[in-house]
Amino acid sequence: MNSATLIVNPFASGVTEERLASVERELRPGVELTVTLTERPEHATELARDLAGADRIYVFGGDGLLNEVLNGLDHDTVVGVVPGGRTNVVARALGVPRDPATAARALVSAPPRRISVGRANGRRFAFAAGIGFDAELVRRVDRLGRRNDGRRPGDLAFTWEAAKLLAGRRGRYEPALEIEGFGRAAFAIVANGHTYSYAGSRPLRVAPEARFELGLDLVAPQRLVPRAIPRFVVYAFRGGGERAEDILYGHDLDRIEVRCDRPLPLQVDGEDLGDAVSVVFEAERDAVSILAPNAGTFRA
């Protein structure tokens, strides 16, 4: 009998005892399943590292849990993502059903696909990383969660914090970093897939040409002024369109080097990595086998 491990973040917003029991029921037939709950930040990385050579690892939690597992993953282990977070970017981009039990049932027979991952100063990420504005927003929302029950707030909190952040800067972000080979920018987003995040059911496609099976894409506004904000919002919701002269773009890149004028917040997959003065983003091509139930949506 094949063996598999289910790594669970019990603090994730979509994880309950009842849902965990339903996920286990779907995964257990035909497999020797071990269930492990994370106890602290980075615990999933340690667990995945200890499972080197395992046939399959399922993760039940949000994108942060998947990020931790990827950073401890053995090359040959297949990963299945059961959505248990609030946004679940990777699971949705791979066509995994939103309901955890239905997702688990689909993953049992889903084919594995090879995808690339990114690295930011050595830290792996699955779908996106950023330095500057978006990382500062992640940090603000994380602080709200810590003040409440430790779980990340929803889309309204992100929208409200983004509005406050822009208001505090009077809608202006001046050039604050240098991207080697591209030039000066206010902030930078590096994408491994074109779905950067979701606003409810609406995908935000900041880098519409990015694909999981390719290298990294770069989107970096040179500066942000109040009159440009509506255009950037429309760009994100429509999935791109005509390229703007005041945004730096790069597609299918292997390496992106960024030097900041001052320490700026850095995030990967929505996880705050603290401040950085320089960041090297690298594409790790054909890096991971991940279960994708719906091949038709795999290129999201």
pLDDT exceeds cutoff 60 at 149: no
- pLDDT at residue 296 in the model: 47
Q: What is the pLDDT of residues 243-300, one digit of tens each?
A: 778 899 999 999 999 999 999 999 999 999 999 999 999 999 999 999 998 754 444 4
Residues 6+ apart with CB under 8 A from 5: 33, 34, 35, 36, 47, 51, 54, 56, 57, 58
Look at residue 146 and tell me whether its pLDDT is greater than 80.
no
Query: What contacts 243, CB < 8 A, 6 or more positions away?
Result: 249
Give the tokens for residue 274. Answer: 């603290």
**Cα–Cα distance measured from residue 100 to residue 80, given in angstroms and rounded to the nearest whole number:** 12
Torsion of CA 241, 213, 177, 259, to 10 degrees: -170
State the CB neighbour count (10 A cutoff) for residue 180.
11
In angstroms, what is the C-alpha Rg of the chain? 19
pLDDT of residue 289: 95
The residue-averaged pLDDT of 114-123 equals: 97
Q: Tell me phi and psi for residue 202, to 5 degrees.
A: -90, 125
Residue with tokens 């030097």: 259
Q: pLDDT-derived band of residue 25, with 50, 70 and 90 as boundaries?
A: very high
Structure tokens at 132: 């500057």
Q: Residue 145, Cβ neighbours under 10 Å: how many?
A: 16
Instruction: Tell me the pTM.
Output: 0.90
Q: Give the pLDDT mean for 199-206.
A: 81
